[in-house]
A = this chain, B = another copy of it.
Amino acid sequence: MNAPPPSKAAAGRFFEDFEVGQRLRHATPRTLREGDASLYGALYGTRFAVQSADTFARAIGYPRAPIDDLLAFHVVFGKSVPDVSLNAVANLGYAACRFLKALYPGDTLSATSEVIGLKENANRQSGVVYVRTQGFDQHGDVVIDYVRWVMVRKRDAAARAPAPSVPDLPGAVAPADLGRACPVIDAAAYDDALAGSPYRWGDYARGERIDHVDGVTVEEAEHQIATRLYQNVAKVHFNQFSEGQGRFGRRLIYGGHVISLARALSFNGLANAFHVAAINGGRHVAPLFAGDTLFAWSEILDAAALPGRADVGALRIRTIAAKNHPCADFPMREGEGYEPHVVLDLDYWAILPR
């Protein structure tokens, strides 16, 4: 045996450990199981018929019920945490996220990230790291591709920072880039009553607002179980001993948990929005804590036909989630910022049958 190195436990990268162009190959490939789908369902109560029933999925053209898009997203995201955001102060945003291939139980996900931007903060204590992360299946095909940026602590405030480099990010994924993960479906075989709503793609109007009505209270055990399901080990979600001494005095709920809760709430009003084709942008405006009750509302930002497809169309949806505040008044901005109960501002493209 060789002499031991100082420590074999990883402390995670600090801001000065990143450089633009750096490629990170993330650990822990993960086979998606039927059991993961069951747990995901039980954690969020999601009711989209395509993901819920093999019969419904097969009737419209899927080989079987696919894995929920956001479950796959969170698994890919989780892989990037030990290499990118173990020392993160905050997960600032997402952009240009595309879902490129339908996934099924038995598929295995792995992930890589490339550093595409770096910008030190003025206080020199931290900086923003931009990464483009790609998730792959067992065939090496890219299944999810997105950019996120995160504020990461510096190990040493005096360390020299690279020249600022901020990537140029699209405001939204273009309609021509949507739908690759959705097979051509038989829209006539899509059963609205079983799906839970008579409203198809053409029934929604730009500017239409939908209060999703219901609220769901989050427990510590729930968000911890969910976040571990994604093998996401960011310290802030699990360690009350250290977080109790920190900024909030509480464990912070993983932002992706909030997104999945809001998406599940949105079923009431968007039951036929069965597939998340892209996330144009997402901001975690404020933290959510155990004991808080989450509500959500959505606005239809745009509707787009998909080139060459008469079976489905895309809606660009902005979903706002608020804590401890029902959304009948559609809370969002107030003056310069968000109303104080807003926690999530998510802009995504969903696919609906035409």
Contacts and interface: CB of A to CB of B under 8 A. Distances in A.
Interface string A198-239: 010011111010111111110111101111110101010011
Interface stretch (A32-40, A91-99, A149-157, A172-180): A32-40
Contacts of A339: none
A233 B106 CA distance: 29
A7 B217 contact: no
B52 A231 contact: yes
Nearest to A53: B29
A112 to B, nearest CB: 10
A125 interface: no
Interface residues of A, number: 90
Interface in A288-314: 291, 293, 295, 303
A326 to B, nearest CB: 8
Contact of A239 (B8, B54, B214): B214
Contacts of A76: none
- Work out how many copies of this chain go into the complex: 3
A53 B41 CA distance: 21
A197 interface: yes
A199 B203 CA distance: 58
Interface stretch (A127-135, A181-189, A263-271, A277-285): A263-271
B49 A213 contact: no
Interface of A: 1-5, 7-11, 25, 27-31, 33-39, 41-45, 47, 49, 52-56, 65, 82, 106, 108, 110, 138, 193-197, 199, 202-206, 208, 210-217, 219-222, 224-229, 231, 233, 235, 238-242, 251, 268-271, 291, 293, 295, 303, 324, 326
A55 B108 contact: yes
Contacts of A11: 213
Contact of A31 (B54, B204, B268): B54
A206 B47 contact: no
A293 B241 contact: yes
A197 B42 contact: no
Contacts of A41: 228-229, 231
Contact of A219 (B4, B206, B213, B221): B221
A8 B108 contact: no
Contacts of A196: 27-28, 82
Contacts of A206: 1
A202 B138 CA distance: 30
Nearest to A212: B9
A106 B212 CA distance: 31
28 contacts: A7-B269, A8-B210, A8-B269, A8-B270, A9-B210, A10-B268, A11-B213, A25-B193, A27-B194, A29-B49, A31-B53, A31-B55, A33-B35, A33-B38, A34-B35, A36-B38, A42-B225, A42-B229, A45-B228, A45-B231, A52-B231, A56-B108, A215-B238, A217-B224, A219-B219, A219-B221, A221-B222, A239-B293
Nearest to A295: B241
A52 B29 contact: yes
Contacts of A195: 27-28
